[in-house]
Structure 1
Amino acid sequence: MTAPGRRSSTFTRLLRHGFTDASAAERLLESPELAGIRDDPVLLEALGATADPDLALLGLVRLLEAQPDPGARRELLSTLIAAKPLRDRLLGVLGASEALGDHLARHPHDWRALVTYEARDLHPGVEEFERELAEAADPVSLRVAYRRCLLSIAARDVCGTTDVAQTAAELADLATATLRAALAIARTAAPEDAAVCRLAVVAMGKCGGHELNYVSDVDVIFVGEPVEGADEQAAVRAATRLASHMMRICSQSTVEGSIWPVDANLRPEGRNGPLVRTLASHLAYYQRWAKTWEFQALLKARPVAGDERLGAEYVDTLAPLVWQAAERENFVPDVQKMRRRVIENIPAGEVERELKLGPGGLRDVEFAVQLLQLVHGRSDTSLRSGTTLVALRALADGGYVGRSDAEQLDQAYRFLRSMEHRIQLYRLRRTHLVPQDEAELRRIGRSLGLRQEPVEGLLREWKRHAAAVRRLHEKLFYRPLLDAVAQLAPGEARLSAGAARERLVALGYADPAAALRHLEALASGVSRKAAIQRTLLPVMLGWFADSADPDAGMLNFRRVSDALGKTPWYLRLLRDEGAAAENLARVLSAGRLAPDLLMRAPEAVALLGDGDGSGGGLRLRGREQLEQEILAAVGRADGARQAVTAARGVRRRELFRTAAADIVGSYGHDGAPGDVDQARLVDLVGGAVSDLTAATLAGTLRAVVREHYGDTLPTRFAVIGMGRFGGHELGYGSDADVLFVHEPREGADEQEAARAANTVVAEMRRLLQLPSTDPPLLIDADLRPEGKSGPLVRTLKSYEAYYRRWSLVWESQALLRAEQVAGDEELGRRFTELVDPLRYPRRGLGDDAVREIRRLKARMETERLPRGADPTLHTKLGRGGLSDVEWTVQLLQLRHAADEPGLRTTRTRAALAAARDAGLLPAEDAATLDEAWVLATRVRNAVMLVRGRAGDTFPSDARELGAVGRYLGYGPGHVGDMLDDYRRITRRARAVVEERFYGA
């Protein structure tokens, strides 16, 4: 028995050395096998340095128990204590891999493979591994020898003797040696087949790229030819039997398990194609039938076994086709589509844990590197490596990728591969999922050197690297293009421009020649401006390429740069504030409205960034701030016309700020649209444009009154917002629906007051519609009593008399949106109090009124939908569109607002939520209507942003439609999905309208 004091001391030491189950560890240390060394501090220090001290100690005891006799056990113990290299290697493996601990327990002499520690043994290649496997004459002995070699690789890996790239290369070399050994066994078993054929084994995938995992399928392609004088068909059949036998040797399960599956599905026609083809047959297939991904796969083709000359001939013959692949139609979209398909096929519950295939995973790095290789490797042979990190380094050395970006990708790829290695090493199982068990995460974190908070540190580092990978993967740009264009000599222009044009096509530019001219104009020369442009433009190109119209983005960037090129702050802003450059690229390539607004006042570029680089200049301003600025500008102006011009200038700038914030917000985090809050952006735009319109009207009113009447108008005057304006829901191209109300001041002549009020209205409308480079602001007063035939402005008493005697139910409905927006606040308040009984009737609506509203709605659907318009895609009057939702909500307000205060709001979404909360509308129906209303509003905003003019339906032009899709979060090739989603969402909303509005 151990004394209590000693036990307590040992227990504490074990915890200090990283053991998690100190009680179990104490019992293991008391094992007879550890007699004589259990108190040796060297042992505890070595165990504490492993990834999992508990696992390492258990594995050591099992290994000692498995020794055949006491002498062998003493030899192992003495060597373990005396030789630090062996101690680190053996315990390191035992603490990282339960599977290799099992192997050592089954083969207790194999620990000797870890004894040798000489420089020439640290990085063995294929020949060394072949010697280790040479005596294996059957699948079982080959499996044992393979595991023994794997033991040495893992030991060097966990001890840091090799880095992750060297480990992956050693694993590929071991796979090569294993394939050769398996083929030799197959040849020995069928000498008659071996005599009539030449068979080459070409490694693909990670084995071909010298970057294999611990546990992975080994992808291969087989090439067969007859020996001289042999029949070709017979030779191919013989080669097929040899190849099949070789695959079974590696893949079949034995008492020692299997080695790994040999996967030949990358061959022409995949599983449906013949296992072995002649070289001519391979060539014919790739020339006629191969898809883009098959050429991408051939990047890593490397002969590894069998007939070396035939394997080399295969690679050399197909190489020209690989480097012509980028010239294929739809090459880049095909590569991008394949990457998206990989992500889409990941089970939903595994996406966040997928280390290899998920967003920000290893495949993102590999696809980015391979795409750049295939585009640029046609003319630059230094890029033609099948190894990801080697190719990435070549891309950086050649200037195709920025060194900082390449360094981040390199570090992220190494970290992610290291995680993958450690995950697989534990049980030697093929997996790329990050475990959820805390003990497993702790072991992985410690194995990667994260000894303080290993779990938290591991997850933090993983997410950091994954975010960097995802961001850089999205860029896919070509940096040296600009240097090449900038430094062109006249005699070199044709060749260099041609190469650059191809690369611009690969990025999605439809008119690469025009893009090249813009690049030359911006980046040529030795000035500081040109030097900064050469730094900026490679990044900008990638952001432009992420839009639906990169050519427009490039053209607009040149226009802005030409306009601001002499200002000292412009390029400095873009260079030093990362958000500003990206925001500018997004805004310039998203459509016509924002660039047009910007070109009228290019200095508004400053809004796209701020001192901390967060793009804070895009934070929108409230009505009070806007009104203060406009009134101050009006106060400084000479005359009403100049004052209104100043007010319209503020409006133009703030419209740009709103549009830019909307566009940038639509790209989501790091340019990815998936996390965008669509409803928030709708509320943001509607509120911002409405506030801006109200502030502009307030400034215009002040200017007109000052011009014609000095400081005091002989009548009190207020502007009442109606429709979308009153509902805080204006779009970029919306008119301002208003009512004008006045009330003569005490002692004023009523006729003079009326003339003054009418003069103010006429002047406000005239000044706001004067021809100008600023966007027009149209005032629409058609919702006034008697419509177009009625007076533009009335007294409060006149409104009262009219509404008391003549008001129709549609006017009560229209007044639901009435809200004071400018002028005399107290008069505006009295007007809304006047109309409250009409819009919130105490007894609700009678059946006749409900029928009338339904009749008016049905008539509007029949008569006002434009001829030829698709009712399933018309955002305003179409099925489940804005009108459907708004009339349904307004009918609920007219019926129940008297009893439900929450319904007394001018805002559609707020009223909808209030109806839901009051139990007037099921939550599911409310959500359906809200989703449709938000989507229809987003589409209208998108059309205005893209086309520069308002529209109620999707554009017919393909590029414009693609830009609308990008704004709504749909990537290239998914426009059809956008239209399908719109129809589906609005169809569901129409079903709710049929039931809740029409009472179907």
Structure 2
Amino acid sequence: MTMPGRRSSIFTRLLRHGFTDPSGAERLLDVPEMATVRSDPLFLDALGATADPDLALRGLVRLIEAANAGERRILLDTLLTAKPLRDRLLGVLGASEALGDHLARHPHDWHVLVTYESADLHPGVAEFERGLADATDPVSLRIAYRRCLLAIAARDVCGTIDVAETAAELADLATATLRAALAIARAAAPEDAAACRLAVIAMGKCGGHELNYISDVDVIFVGGLPEAPAGTLAGDNAAAPLNTDEGKAVQAATRLASHLMRICSETTVEGAIWPVDANLRPEGRNGPLVRTLSSHLAYYQRWAKTWEFQALLKARAVAGDVPLGAEYIDAVSPLVWQAADREHFVPDVQKMRRRVVDNIPAAQLDRELKLGPGGLRDVEFAVQLLQLVHGRSDSTLRSGSTLDALGALAAGGYVGRADAAQLDDAYRFLRSMEHRIQLHRLRRTHLVPEDEGDLRRLGRSLGLRGDPVVELNKAWKRHASVVRRLHEKIFYRPLLDAVAQLAPGETRLSTKAARQRLEALGYADPAAALRHLEALSSGVSRKAAIQRTLLPVLLGWFADSADPDAGLLGFRKVSDALGKTPWYLRLLRDEGAAAENLARVLSAGRLAPDLLLRAPEAVAILGDPGGLVPHGRAHLEQEVIAAVGRAETAEGAVAAARGTRRRELFRTTAADIIGSYGTEDSPAEEDPGALVDRVGNALTDLNAATLAGALRAAVRGRWGDTLPTRFAVIGMGRFGGHEMGYGSDADVLFVHEPREGVGEQEAAQAANAVVAEMRRLLEVPGSEPPLLIDADLRPEGKSGPMVRTLASYAAYYRRWSLVWESQALLRAEPMAGDADLGRRFVELIDPMRYPPEGLGEDAVREIRRLKARMETERMPRGADPTLHTKLGRGGLSDVEWTIQLLQMRHAWAEPGLRTTRTRGALAAARAAGLLSAEDAQTLDDAWVLATRVRNGVMLVRGRPGDTFPSDGRELGAMGRYLGYGAGPTRGQTQEVHSGDMLDDYRRTTRRARAVMERLFYGAE
């Protein structure tokens, strides 16, 4: 009987060592058989280190009680003296109730845990075969199997082997077991064994050398005549009848295979080993259990679905006829690595993964460790998909093991190192969870338990000690989140499908193949293109490996442009500039449509590539889902002003502001190109007007922010934070109308108002000095299109002062203003500087641009006279008036003057017309009934098209222009920008597209001119 004092002391120690039932543990320690070990503190420490100390102690007591006296004495002595055995035995008993039951039935089996030699740490198939050698029937095979499993579990729970080594040992044990089961089946039916050949092909996790403790062992059986070569056993047709001898051989093989499956799968007094599942065979459970090799091949070549080739990726011959098994693997392997050539291969695999998730019962979804989102299957499917796509030409990827394949994908540059490391870590953790869940009762399950005691044991088995349940849930959710994120990133990335669609062998470029492809795609200078390819992809570096994956796809995208050579050259320049930047190629490989976006931008003309080459890091914009959304004026102005504030000189301040402008110009051009051209995943925008408005607003906001930065730099360099006079910049023309193009000047007026206590002369000098400094700073040569300030719309034009006070403007407009100046003021809007001063300037000019009671007839005649004079005097000599976007027939001037005349005549009564935006005023005029819906649409179509042509000219040529380019490639690029020709625009195709484009432009503007003449000139 235990004394109360000692009992209390042991009770406390048991609690400290993690026992949840210390009273029950005390009773077990008090049994006579435990007398020699219960007082040993090291024994209690070893129990406390197990996943479940209570379970370990119960299992040990059962083992000791089951052993005979001699065996018991040896065991107890060994427990006291041999720490490796103590840790192994107690570790297994604390993690697995099922193995504790096995030891209670077979107490002598604890001896397999005694040996601790290095050779014992990593046994292979041969060692396991020796462990099963004495098994002659299903029952003895189960006992021997559990004995081997006991040794694997001990190495696992003690950390002698990691999760990958555990899975490999389990697969090797399964291989040895299949061989032993086949030997038992053959011994039971020697006549069948003599009548056939039978090869057992392991599939799934067993084939991949990554088996669970309890899992179906997936197999395929191949059979045939014993004396005939395997490849000649059947005809070409899988459905053709076998001859008599072949039929008998397959029947004999089927009986052996069926017996093998029963030996492993059926439950006996010793339980079952694991189910043998042959449903991955051709036609599944509806197909014959055993087929000849020829029958297998005929099925795979004609009828197999994509998932069947994915399953064959892990196929491995493990038992039976060795030559036949090897012949099967040799025959099906080429089919596996051709699977990605199948139509819709990548979408099919992705759809299959989604189907698996959809079929999980809702109540189990959050506990499903294998099939659920963020589970093991997410890693496996992503890895297998990458293997099947890239493994066609890279044999290093052809491993059946998930972790080995993941490592090879990372080494080859197909997956980023950081992503691969995170996936590896997460997969190991999730597989460890799965192993320990199954090890407890040796039951096939992938559900995380809900019982707190089970969760506690699971957490402790994984080395989590503080609060095992909390830490387990936290770690599990963290790893599942990583898997889900990276699965979505890798498994669904567009580039993968593009690579899969390449011709077989095209994922790596040989010189000959590259030249042929370049010529076929229409590269004008294949020799130069080849030099670029060799410079980008030669060598054994990781960078070169990634480039070899990207380039075949990029070549096709470049070819889908008017100038593939320019696209490839631009890509080489960007790659050279960012060659040592670790994120660049990773971005193109991993992040959504970044690679396709870059290809479109680089092959669309000169402006966007020039901007990118001057700031290559801006390529990151193309991989950000929100990267192509222009930043608003408030954001840009804040960024620019902050950059100006950090600069030490005025020149440095404006350089910083211009750097922001360069980056945002690239963002806008890229968004315009991609929105116009579209990509595989994002078709071109259907509404050209939306593209025009987005570009106009983005450029206006950007240039307003740039002017604000230049103003701050000019003031700060001489006056500090406060200028002696209030100062505002008023946008005019396309700037004030939010309709700027890539080559537009910034039309402005400058207005100031002396601060209190400052004389007019001092204020005027300060204002003029600020304007001069702003213009100087903005005209310093730079690497982006300059922002030129044009103040010619000011009172008195070039003859008038550059800047005036608000009172001076009021006096001028009251006495001297002409009608054209009132018309110009329709687009006046404050853009930078003193907001209150800008607001008061608008209040000053509103009565002029929106005259009460509208325009008199004299003013209308004057506007018409000015328009007619401009048409005759300002059209460039030799220009085609039907194609000039600004001054030509039905062009920008025709539409804008028509709308502006409506504004000046009716805005006093129609508030909607009081806008600086042409399209906004046009929509308001239509709503007010001032023109018909048809006329409004005609004018809008022409204005949008002419604006897009001007923008397209700048994008294609890198310099502004008001008419279509004459160069054939530039004209072809314009056609692509405007939506003419979705494919390569070369030769005759280019001429057809260009002709359609010019005809459509003339037709659209001719209709607009007819509307303009009727509405503006009053012609019938």
TM-score (norm 1): 0.59
Q: How far apart are 1:223 and its partner, in Å?
A: 1.3
Could you tell me which residue of structure 1 aligns to residue 79 of structure 2?
A: 80
**Letter paired with 1:54:** D
Could you tell me which residue of structure 1 aligns to residue 98 of structure 2?
A: 99
Distance 1:838 1:692, change over 3 A: farther
**Aligned residue runs from structure 1 range 537-548, under 5 A:** 538-539=545-546
- How far apart, CA to CA, are the structure 1 residues paired with 2:226 and 2:110? 44
Note the residue ranges of structure 1 that are not aligned, 5 or more in a row: 478-492, 526-530, 638-642, 665-671, 674-683, 706-710, 747-759, 780-792, 800-814, 842-851, 870-946, 961-1000
Query: Which residue of the other structure, out of 305, 317, 322, is the alignment partner of 1:308?
Result: 322
Deviation digits for residues 803-824 of structure 1, max 9, x if unmatched? xxxxxxxxxxxx9x99965465
Q: Do the aligned partners of 1:412 and 1:469 also contact (CA within 8 Å) in 2?
A: no
Q: Do the aligned partners of 2:178 and 2:319 also contact (CA within 8 Å) in 1?
A: yes
Deviation digits for residues 962-998 of structure 1, max 9, x if unmatched? xxxxxxxxxxxxxxxxxxxxxxxxxxxxxxxxxxxxx
Distance 1:277 1:133, change over 3 A: same
Could you tell me which residue of structure 1 aligns to residue 435 of structure 2?
A: 421
- How far apart, CA to CA, are the structure 1 residues paired with 2:589 and 2:192? 65
Distance 1:948 1:334, change over 3 A: farther
Q: Do the aligned partners of 1:587 and 1:594 also contact (CA within 8 Å) in 2?
A: no
**Letter paired with 1:588:** L
Could you tell me which residue of structure 2 aligns to residue 250 of structure 1?
A: 264
**Letter paired with 2:611:** R
- How far apart, CA to CA, are the structure 2 residues paired with 1:954 and 1:275? 57
Query: Which residue of the other structure, out of 654, 679, 700, is the alignment partner of 2:664?
Result: 654
Query: Which residue of the other structure, out of 492, 495, 518, is the alignment partner of 2:532?
Result: 518
Could you tell me which residue of structure 1 aligns to residue 835 of structure 2?
A: 825
Query: Which residue of the other structure, out of 265, 281, 293, is the alignment partner of 1:267?
Result: 281
**Aligned residue runs from structure 1 range 551-630, under 5 A:** 558-559=569-570, 562=573, 571-572=579-580, 588-589=598-599, 591=601, 596-597=607-608, 599-600=610-611, 602-606=613-617, 621-626=635-640
Distance 1:348 1:948, change over 3 A: farther
- How far apart, CA to CA, are the structure 2 residues paired with 1:951 and 1:745? 53
Q: How far apart are 1:338 and its partner, in Å?
A: 4.8
- How far apart, CA to CA, are the structure 1 residues paired with 2:740 and 2:264? 66
- How far apart, CA to CA, are the structure 2 residues paired with 1:89 and 1:308? 36
Q: Do the aligned partners of 2:17 and 2:44 also contact (CA within 8 Å) in 1?
A: yes
Q: How far apart are 1:84 and its partner, in Å?
A: 2.8
1:166 partner SS: helix
Q: Do the aligned partners of 1:168 and 1:211 also contact (CA within 8 Å) in 2?
A: yes
Q: How far apart are 1:282 and its partner, in Å?
A: 0.9
Q: How far apart are 1:597 and its partner, in Å?
A: 3.5
- How far apart, CA to CA, are the structure 1 residues paired with 2:515 and 2:427? 30
- How far apart, CA to CA, are the structure 2 residues paired with 1:378 and 1:564? 26
Q: Which moved more, 1:215-224 or 1:335-344?
A: 335-344
Distance 1:950 1:59, change over 3 A: farther
Q: Do the aligned partners of 1:608 and 1:616 also contact (CA within 8 Å) in 2?
A: no
Q: Do the aligned partners of 1:201 and 1:305 also contact (CA within 8 Å) in 2?
A: yes
**Letter paired with 2:25:** A
Could you tell me which residue of structure 2 aligns to residue 285 of structure 1?
A: 299
- How far apart, CA to CA, are the structure 2 residues paired with 1:604 and 1:87? 65
Could you tell me which residue of structure 1 aligns to residue 766 of structure 2?
A: none
Could you tell me which residue of structure 1 aligns to residue 178 of structure 2?
A: 179
**Aligned residue runs from structure 1 range 914-953, under 5 A:** none
Q: How far apart are 1:53 and its partner, in Å?
A: 2.1
Could you tell me which residue of structure 2 aligns to residue 59 of structure 1?
A: 59
- How far apart, CA to CA, are the structure 2 residues paired with 1:299 and 1:309? 20
Distance 1:364 1:685, change over 3 A: farther
Q: Does 1:9 align with 2:19?
A: no
- How far apart, CA to CA, are the structure 1 residues paired with 2:320 and 2:535? 56
Q: How far apart are 1:838 and its partner, in Å?
A: 11
- How far apart, CA to CA, are the structure 2 residues paired with 1:630 and 1:353? 54
Distance 1:474 1:557, change over 3 A: farther
**Aligned residue runs from structure 1 range 202-213, under 5 A:** 202-213=201-212
- How far apart, CA to CA, are the structure 2 residues paired with 1:712 and 1:84? 84
Distance 1:956 1:45, change over 3 A: farther
Deviation digits for residues 288-311 of structure 1, max 9, x if unmatched? 233344333323222223333322
Deviation digits for residues 784-806 of structure 1, max 9, x if unmatched? xxxxxxxxx9999999xxxxxxx
**Aligned residue runs from structure 1 range 425-574, under 5 A:** 425-435=439-449, 439-451=453-465, 459-460=474-475, 463=478, 467=482, 471=486, 496-497=510-511, 517-522=531-536, 536=543, 538-539=545-546, 558-559=569-570, 562=573, 571-572=579-580
Distance 1:863 1:227, change over 3 A: farther
- How far apart, CA to CA, are the structure 2 residues paired with 1:94 and 1:494? 53
- How far apart, CA to CA, are the structure 1 residues paired with 2:151 and 2:932? 80
Could you tell me which residue of structure 2 aligns to residue 298 of structure 1?
A: 312
Distance 1:98 1:513, change over 3 A: farther
Could you tell me which residue of structure 1 aligns to residue 151 of structure 2?
A: 152
- How far apart, CA to CA, are the structure 2 residues paired with 1:91 and 1:955? 76
Q: How far apart are 1:361 and its partner, in Å?
A: 5.0
Q: How far apart are 1:437 and its partner, in Å?
A: 5.6
2:222 partner SS: strand
Q: Do the aligned partners of 1:20 and 1:54 also contact (CA within 8 Å) in 2?
A: yes
**Letter paired with 1:602:** L
Q: How far apart are 1:9 and its partner, in Å?
A: 3.1
Q: Do the aligned partners of 1:343 and 1:357 also contact (CA within 8 Å) in 2?
A: yes
Q: Do the aligned partners of 2:537 and 2:547 also contact (CA within 8 Å) in 1?
A: no
Distance 1:62 1:71, change over 3 A: same
Note the residue ranges of structure 2 that are not aligned, 5 or more in a row: 228-242, 493-506, 675-680, 683-693, 716-721, 756-770, 791-805, 814-825, 847-907, 913-923, 942-971, 986-1020
**Letter paired with 1:604:** A
Q: How far apart are 1:155 and its partner, in Å?
A: 1.4
Could you tell me which residue of structure 2 aligns to residue 989 of structure 1?
A: none
Q: Do the aligned partners of 1:295 and 1:325 also contact (CA within 8 Å) in 2?
A: yes
Q: Which moved more, 1:156-165 or 1:111-120?
A: 111-120
2:663 partner SS: helix
- How far apart, CA to CA, are the structure 2 residues paired with 1:446 and 1:544? 49
Distance 1:11 1:777, change over 3 A: farther
Could you tell me which residue of structure 2 aligns to residue 940 of structure 1?
A: none
Q: Do the aligned partners of 1:718 and 1:825 also contact (CA within 8 Å) in 2?
A: no
1:231 partner SS: helix
- How far apart, CA to CA, are the structure 2 residues paired with 1:206 and 1:224? 23
Q: Do the aligned partners of 2:51 and 2:460 also contact (CA within 8 Å) in 1?
A: yes
- How far apart, CA to CA, are the structure 1 residues paired with 2:359 and 2:606? 38
Distance 1:418 1:556, change over 3 A: farther
Q: How far apart are 1:129 and its partner, in Å?
A: 3.4
**Letter paired with 1:237:** Q
Q: Do the aligned partners of 2:17 and 2:45 also contact (CA within 8 Å) in 1?
A: yes
Could you tell me which residue of structure 2 aligns to residue 911 of structure 1?
A: none
CA RMSD of aligned residues (A): 6.6
Distance 1:950 1:371, change over 3 A: same
Could you tell me which residue of structure 1 aligns to residue 223 of structure 2?
A: 224
**Letter paired with 1:303:** A
- How far apart, CA to CA, are the structure 2 residues paired with 1:345 and 1:547? 38
Distance 1:719 1:78, change over 3 A: same
- How far apart, CA to CA, are the structure 2 residues paired with 1:461 and 1:731? 53
Q: Does 1:143 align with 2:157?
A: no
**Letter paired with 1:599:** D
TM-score (norm 2): 0.58
Greater Rg by CA: 2
Distance 1:830 1:26, change over 3 A: farther
Could you tell me which residue of structure 2 aligns to residue 969 of structure 1?
A: none
Q: How far apart are 1:77 and its partner, in Å?
A: 3.0
Q: Do the aligned partners of 1:720 and 1:828 also contact (CA within 8 Å) in 2?
A: no
Distance 1:543 1:303, change over 3 A: closer
Q: Do the aligned partners of 2:537 and 2:545 also contact (CA within 8 Å) in 1?
A: no
Could you tell me which residue of structure 2 aligns to residue 276 of structure 1?
A: 290
Deviation digits for residues 119-156 of structure 1, max 9, x if unmatched? 55444443443454455555444434332322222112
